[in-house]
Amino acid sequence: MDVVVVGCGFAGAVIARILAEKGMKVLIVEKREHIGGNMYDYKDESGAYIHKYGPHIFHTNSDEVLNFINRFSSFFSYEHQVAGFIDGKFVPIPFNLLSIEMTMDNFKEIKDILIKTFGYGSVVPITVLMKYSDSKIRSIGDYVYEKVFLNYTKKQWGNNKVDETVLNRVPVYISYDRKYFTDKYQIMPCFGYTALFNNMINHPNIKIMLNCDFKECLKLNIKTSKILFHGKTFKGAFIYTGSIDELFEYKYGRLDYRSLRFEFKMLNKKYYQMFSVVNYPNDYDYTRITEFKHFTSLNVDSSKTTILYEYPCPCKESDIPYYPVLSRENNEVYYKYLKEAKRFKNLFLIGRLAEYKYYNMDQVILKSIDTAKKVLEK
């Protein structure tokens, strides 16, 4: 075995495929009973692909990423649109000029100010509006923050003291554009993510062990900086995509994550809501409802539809860590682990959990492609 990869999400599957194509023998060790990481999906009676770990929409500006994933699935163009339930109305999210018309009394004046200041078509982070020199712009920012961000963020993160980069993932559009993402390519796999992963790892040089926690066969010897595989020193590349604190047995404490409780419902109706995702910033305990039928390219003529409620929660030991909580304190702990990791010359960390970064799928794929080059250089 030349390479052992822990985890079969995009981070693990992409690097496994690249190295296998270079002639290396790769073993993937995955603790879940399925491949695909958080992208895993399956078809249910409604005829739609159900994303077991929450809605996953593929968006990227990278041709390299697009060319790579195109090898493993056909895709269809999918422009993600989200509505937010605000003051009894379903308004476009990201907040745009139509959202302003739908929720603010003096909308004409506000639209004029925004267009004059930023220019029609601009995309402005909420934190820029809230800190702007002009007090009128600041008060517009405060209004949008209060209606869209404040309570959603409290639900999602447990408080509203989140890193600015998190809030700025969802900017304000000074236009009538209602695409949720601004990327050049916005696509969905025609036959679901699981089929894509199946094709990706289907290579004679790749073997996979499911239902297997890496701790059953791999161990780091901290004293000698050696990796042990079934008790023997492993000199190949060890690619790790799980949580970095788990790898080092939490010696510097547990990293802070947020988790989610998913509640799926199959309804006896054709459709439940107008959009694939509706956000509920200010009402209910859940943050959003996803209806999966909207994600399919085919005209699914089924009398059933499946929806998903997402309830954010703290990440207890038995929960799945979905979101790294970005803060200076947490980064400090992360860097302690990273320093430790650097002592292992054949250890490579990739992905949302191992790098403790709020990565989208395309960022993880790019990181895997780059890391594969490093492995090959060694």
Nearest to 24 by CA among 225, 207, 216, 234: 207
Site for ligand FAD in 232-291 (CB under 6 A): 241-242, 246, 260
Toward ligand FAD, which CB reaches closer, 215 or 336? 215
Rounded to 5°, the CA angle 10-183-305 comes to 70
User: 22-41: which residues touch ligand FAD (CB under 6 A)?
Assistant: 29-32, 37-39
Q: Is 134 exposed, middle or buried (0-12, 13-18, 19+ CB in 10 A)?
A: exposed
103 binds ligand UDP (CB under 6 A): no
Position 7 contacts ligand FAD (CB under 6 A)? yes
Residue nearest to ligand UDP (CB): 152
**Choice from 93, 347, 364, 366 touching ligand FAD (CB under 6 A):** 364
Residue 305 Cβ vs ligand UDP, minimum distance, rounded to whole Å: 21
Using CB under 6 A, count the residues that bind ligand FAD: 33
Residue 51, by phi and psi: left (phi above 0), alpha (psi -120 to 50) or beta?
A: beta
Please report where in the chains the tokens 């139509």 appear, as a residue: 98
Instruction: Confirm if 22 and 228 have CB atoms less than 8 A apart.
Output: no
3-state helix, strand, coil in the chain (%, to 5): 35, 25, 45
Nearest approach in angstroms of CB 196 to ligand FAD is 13
Provide the mask over 70-89, with x wherever binding to ligand UDP is found by CB under 6 A and - wherever it is not: --------------x-----
User: Among 11, 137, 170, 200, which residue sits at the site for ligand FAD (rule: CB under 6 A)?
Assistant: 11
What is the 8-class DSSP label of residue 359?
Answer: -
Binding piece for ligand UDP, criterion CB under 6 A, among 66-74, 136-144, 152-160, 300-308: 152-160
By CB under 6 A, name the one of 6, 148, 325, 350 that touches ligand UDP. Answer: 148
DSSP 218-260: EEEETTTTEEEETTEE--SEEEE-S-HHHHTTTTT-PPPEEEE
- Taking CA atoms, 94 is separated from 74, 102, 152, 346, in Å, by 28, 13, 13, 43
SS3 206: strand
Least distance from ligand FAD to the Cβ atom of residue 361, Å? 3
Residue 32 or residue 111: which is nearer to ligand FAD going by CB? 32
170 part of the interface to ligand UDP, by CB under 6 A: yes
Q: Determine the Cα–Cα distance for residues 202 and 200; give it in Å rounded to an integer.
A: 6
Residues 262-291 that bind ligand UDP (CB under 6 A): 279, 281
From 22-30, 98-106, 149-157, 181-189, span contacting ligand UDP (CB under 6 A): 149-157
Neighbours of 112 (CB within 10 A): 10
Amino acid at 90: F
**Among the listed residues 15, 71, 11, 77, the one whose alpha carbon sits nearest the alpha carbon of residue 39:** 11
Q: Is 156 in the site for ligand FAD (CB under 6 A)?
A: no
Task: Indicate which single residue of 149, 238, 240, 292 sits in contact with ligand UDP (rule: CB under 6 A).
Answer: 149
Q: Which does 306 bind (CB under 5 to 8 A by kind): ligand FAD, ligand UDP, none?
A: none
Cis-peptide into 92, omega within 30 deg: no
Complex with ligand FAD: residue 8 or 315, whichever CB lies closer: 8
Using CB under 6 A as the criterion, which residues of the chain lie in contact with ligand FAD when the complex forms? 6-12, 29-32, 37-39, 54-57, 213-214, 241-242, 246, 260, 322, 351-353, 359-362, 364
Using CB under 6 A as the criterion, which residues of the chain lie in contact with ligand UDP when the complex forms? 84, 93, 148-149, 152-153, 156, 162, 166-167, 169-170, 279, 281
